[in-house]
Amino acid sequence: MSNKPERDSVVRSRRNFLRRTAALTGGALAAGGAARAAQLPIPPTNREPGRVIDETAYGMPSKYESHVMRRRTDVLKNRQNLSDWSMTPLQHQPGIITPNGVVFERHHSGTPDIDPKTHRLAIHGTVKQPLTFTMDDLVRYPSVSRFHFHECSGNGLTDWLKPASTTVQQTHGLLSGILWTGVPASTLMEEAGIDPRGKWVLFEGADGSAHTRSIPMEKVLDDALIVYAMNGEALRPENGYPVRLVIPGWEGNTSVKWLRRIKVGDQPWHFRSETARYTDPMPEGKWRQFSMVMECKSVITSPSGGQQLRGPGFYEITGLAWSGAGKIRAVDVSVDGGKNWREAMLEEPIMDKCLTRFKVAWNWDGGPAVLMSRAVDSTGYVQPSVQDIQKVRAIVGFVQHHNAIQPWSVNAKGEVRNVIGQA
Amino acid sequence: MSSAKLKLLVASTAAAAAVWGCANMGGGMAAKSSNGIPLGSSGPHVVQPLPDRPRFGQPISEADLVAWNIDIRTPDGLGLPVGQGSVAEGKKIYEANCIACHGADAKGGSVYGAMVGGIGSFKTGARVLTPGSMYPYAPILFDYIRRSMPMDRPQALAANEVYALSAYLLNLNGLVPANAVMDQNSLPRVQMPNRDGFLIDDRPDTKAVRCMTNCK
């Protein structure tokens, strides 16, 4: 599969959109001077039957949507595919839910193929009674379903001080919106019996990396979920089948996939995954540890990098905003590189630790523009610029937790480009 | 539901609200764990009230979990097994199992970068991350090698082999002498240069303001 960035991805949809808009407004907005359409013939699909129902098939998208797929970054190429990632095509996602086939992937040693009949989940350590659960056991508990964003802490790490990526899939595609279904972790912890000495909880995967993180007990008992379904079906293998942890609002790798073991202890384990990795460079050679909340962030998904505007006129600027610290309170949009801002419309529903869709109407005058979005969350925290972050952290090497404002430039030809660090 | 159980449910819900309510009162990032880790805001807590809590877990003993119980608490090495391995043994095991991806003398190979060097680089503009420069505690080597390596057959090495690989990598990084032997007592005592290199999450650290007009 190609690693090349996808270009001109909105050309078709923009052209159709403009045609529809022109129809609705009597052509007043068709500033490009579109010619009067020719008489429409009867489409051939009206003149023949379609495909018969394949009553046992799992449905797939139209063949005309084959460009909508996960992609690896073409900026930073790993020399293997086991500890690697693929990214969600956010430029093609309307609304706030990511289809399961394009939810981003990040594995530390590939995707295991786990038989749910033999899979076991164990809870032990500082609990009153160690327990094991089968998958049949887990699905018998009262379930909860919750919408949350899911974001890798490394989202955006290739694009801090100068543009390297072309599309929003490459700059922000380690992000997905998912309806998770499972059992509150507190249900299982309480059944094993909570010991007051238990302050931290280890979660370990059944994959080849046995990926492991230490999570504070308070967070586990608050809103952590033991999840077996996403977006209305069983977890996909690459997203943790048959069972995973979900830690709402925290960096993606804390939500350990292919979960097999939970162990309670009185302090964190300080694994490689929470010391040598998933820590943030700070001034004076230091590293910030246990920075697990994904802070408030937003990005414009259309128009976005690699897209092409089809002449001046109306465009809807739209994108996504989210915060691991609560709900989105507001999103502001600028079309002049951050000099002036106006508040965008937020589309309901607006949910806790979930993607929120924002929209602003824009009449492009055909001149150069720089589009930006800036989110504010329910704690009052304002999404920073790269410069704001640079004042307090060290931007050196592979830097995690990039929640800065993303600028997209539009030139007179309508070409949309990533100008991070330049605007 | 009996009135006693209902009272208990109400009491525990109220206690949870008391504990977690503060997280939503004007500063989600302010809520912290007992160890000072920022927790973010509290999540939703609507669950179906149940007269009797269902219990489907099967009791198991710690003895029956021994093959799964592989974690090492790395600051003090709790969980390190019996066994030992020397630098010289580690070199042989490395050359048989690791060299294809990590290269000769752990200097980097066809797939992964160097696992030696970088000590002292963190205050420069190019931080070099290796086990020697980055790990705050030497038992991280044992925990990570045992659970994840070699990549094509993890959890296949014996404890003695993992100790030996740990000794070899520590020696290549200049942190133990060539005659060192690592075991459950000696490995946690190796002083790592980045031991005090970490600070606990203290965000939010940025001070962005919501300017609307004539901002720059």
pLDDT per residue over A197-215, tens digit each? 999 999 999 999 999 999 9
* pLDDT value at residue B25: 33
What is the distance in angstroms between the Cα of B130 and the nearest Cα belonging to chain A? Answer: 8
Confidence of residue A358 (pLDDT cuts 50, 70, 90): very high
Confidence of residue B9 (pLDDT cuts 50, 70, 90): very low
* pLDDT value at residue A75: 87
Q: Which chain B positions have a beta carbon within 8 Å of A108's beta carbon?
A: 148
Share of chain A above pLDDT 70, in %: 92
Suggest the residue from A107, A153, A160, A290 to mutate for an interface test with chain B (most B CBs closer than 10 A). A290
Q: What is the pLDDT of residues A41-90, one digit of tens each?
A: 999 999 999 999 999 999 999 999 999 999 988 888 888 889 999 999 99
Q: What is the pLDDT of residues A123-178, one digit of tens each?
A: 999 999 999 999 999 999 999 999 999 999 999 999 999 999 999 999 999 999 99
Confidence of residue A313 (pLDDT cuts 50, 70, 90): very high
Q: Are the Cβ atoms of B40 and A352 closer than 8 angstroms?
A: no
* pLDDT value at residue B12: 40
Global pTM value? 0.90
- pLDDT exceeds 60 at position A20: no
Give which of A207, A193, A42 is closest to A128, Cα–Cα: A193
Do you know the residue count of chain A?
423
Confidence of residue A247 (pLDDT cuts 50, 70, 90): very high
Who among B71, B136, B213 is closest to A263 (CB)? Answer: B71
* pLDDT value at residue B33: 87
Domains of chain A: 105-155+172-288 (3.90.420.10)
- pLDDT exceeds 90 at position B83: yes
Distance, CA of B213 to CA of A341 (rounded, Å): 6
- pLDDT exceeds 60 at position B16: no
Q: Which of A31-35, B48-52, B152-156, B164-168 has the lowest mean pLDDT?
A: A31-35
CATH T-level topology, domain B63-189: Cytochrome Bc1 Complex; Chain D, domain 2 (1.10.760)
Distance, CA of B207 to CA of B210 (rounded, Å): 10
Sequence-distant (≥ 6) Cβ neighbours of residue B162 within 8 angstroms: B83, B85, B142, B145, B146
Share of chain A above pLDDT 90, in %: 88
* pLDDT value at residue A155: 98
- pLDDT exceeds 70 at position A5: no
Interhelix angle B159-172/B87-97, nearest 10 degrees = 100
Mean pLDDT of chain A: 92
Suggest the residue from B20, B70, B147 to mutate for an interface test with chain A (most A CBs closer than 10 A). B147
B51 to chain A, any CB pair closer than 8 A? The answer is no
Share of chain B above pLDDT 90, in %: 73
B22 secondary structure, DSSP code = G
Q: What is the pLDDT of residues B184-206, one digit of tens each?
A: 999 999 999 999 999 999 999 99
Sequence ranges of the domains in chain B:
3-50, 63-189
- pLDDT exceeds 50 at position B18: no
Sequence-distant (≥ 6) Cβ neighbours of residue A216 within 8 angstroms: A199, A200, A201, B33, B34, B35, B37, B39
B37 to chain A, any CB pair closer than 8 A? The answer is yes
Distance, CA of A220 to CA of B117 (rounded, Å): 38
Q: Which residue of A has its CA nearest to B203?
A: A291
Q: A183 or B35: whose pLDDT is higher?
A: A183
